[in-house]
Amino acid sequence: MEKRYLFGALLLFLMAVLLIWGLPGDPESHRTAEPAQDTASTSLSEPVIAGLTDTEGYDHFRQRAQSVGPTPASLQGTRVDGQLLVNANGDLVINPAVRQVFDYFLTAVGEEPLEDIQARLAGYLSEQLPPQAARQAWTIYQQYMALREAMEQLPEHDGSVAAMRQAITQRHDMQQAYLGPEVADAFYGLDMTYDRYMIEQQAVRENDNLTAVERDQQLAALEQNLPAGLQQMLNETRAPIRLQQRTREMREQGASEAEIRALREQTFGPQAAERFEALEQQRQDWEQRYQAYRQERLQLINSGLSHTDQQVALARLQQRLFEEKELARVQALDRINSEDR
């Protein structure tokens, strides 16, 4: 419940970014930079929880990186997210990109053993950073993994505003304890601000003592008090939704596909317009296949076959019309449609 509510809109934003701008990654190789100015803190505060680091492990995984197998399929053709920086003293610059690098490699969890993932990460750190900064990054990685494991053990809450506020405070305290203030703020500062905004937004919506006008005013005030970057993110999140609504209205008014294409290009550019069209075509193709499946499924159910024979026939029908990755969605829709009858 907590993850669905607190991060649902953020995930929607990320999906919109992927749709509009494609896969993340700087077209230039992400190399080490040495900014002259102090753009971020580089003096790491000690975490409250000690015993989370093992510098010998870095040497082990760095050596193992030379013998790992081919890159996992999910990472092939992509670039590492985030640019690692060092300052003039050779220390790692602490910023959100450090977490991006960790998460990039961790997306392969399930495709290959964690030991291989860590070897790839250690190898990348040794290539991109001087030795001192690379070991600093590895120390933070170990603390980050310990935090992730601890946060997975947090109990569910009842979805109330009070319970979510308590959960946010608990999570924030854990981040500070495992990572220290500087790293925790760099890794989770934006997330924390967004989570608190979503909780206060829910509190306003659930306040029955407010009139509709008062509720709208308080919701607007909450958004206006957000950092400028987060406000921009929310606006960008809503842009594809607004475009979809406008497209629907234009079609209802008889607009041509050329006019709709022009609107998409004007809003997001030619490449994004092509992605919107491709996505729309995929949705139409899915809907046609699913409706054809529904008709054949109904015929099978009414055919008089035994329950066992029906299940076998339905399984063959699903495999004929859908890819394996689509079957879970088909079965879920079948259950929903059966409950509605």
Question: In angstroms, what is the C-alpha Rg of the chain?
Answer: 25
Q: Dihedral through CA 278, CA 283, CA 285, CA 288, nearest 10?
A: -160
The pLDDT assigned to 54 comes to 59
Residue type, 277: E
CB 193 within 8 A of CB 226: yes
Q: Estimate the crossing angle of helix 114-128 against helix 131-152, to 10 degrees.
A: 150
Q: What is the DSSP letter of 66?
A: G
d(CA 312, CA 55): 55
CB 155 within 8 A of CB 3: no
Phi-psi region of 310 (alpha: psi -120 to 50; beta: other; left: phi over 0): alpha
Reference 86, options 125, 32, 140; nearest CA is: 32
The pLDDT assigned to 213 comes to 93
d(CA 26, CA 24): 7
Q: Which residue do the tokens 């054949």 mark?
A: 296
Taking CA atoms, 294 is separated from 135, 264, 318, in Å, by 57, 33, 10
d(CA 223, CA 229): 11
Taking CA atoms, 10 is separated from 6, 192, 197, 235, 279, in Å, by 8, 12, 12, 12, 20
Give me the average pLDDT of each 10-residue run along the chain (341 residues).
Answer: 42 41 38 39 51 68 91 90 92 95 93 93 96 95 94 84 89 94 93 90 92 93 88 78 84 88 85 82 88 90 87 89 86 73 52
Read off the tokens for 218.
Answer: 């308080």
d(CA 130, CA 90): 7
Q: What's the CA angle centered on 41, arms 36 and 44, to 5 degrees?
A: 130
d(CA 56, CA 162): 44
Q: What's the CA angle centered on 35, arms 141 and 77, to 5 degrees?
A: 55
Q: State the burial class of residue 47 (Cβ atoms within 10 Å of its Cβ: 0-12, 13-18, 19+).
A: buried
**Distance of alpha carbon 336 from the chain centroid:** 27
Which residues lie below 8 Å from residue 181, measured CB to CB, with a gap of 6+?
45
d(CA 173, CA 177): 6
Q: Report the first-to-last Cα separation within the chain, whole angstroms.
A: 28
What are the residues facing 92 on neighbouring strands?
86
d(CA 139, CA 179): 10
Residue type, 69: G
The pLDDT assigned to 7 comes to 41
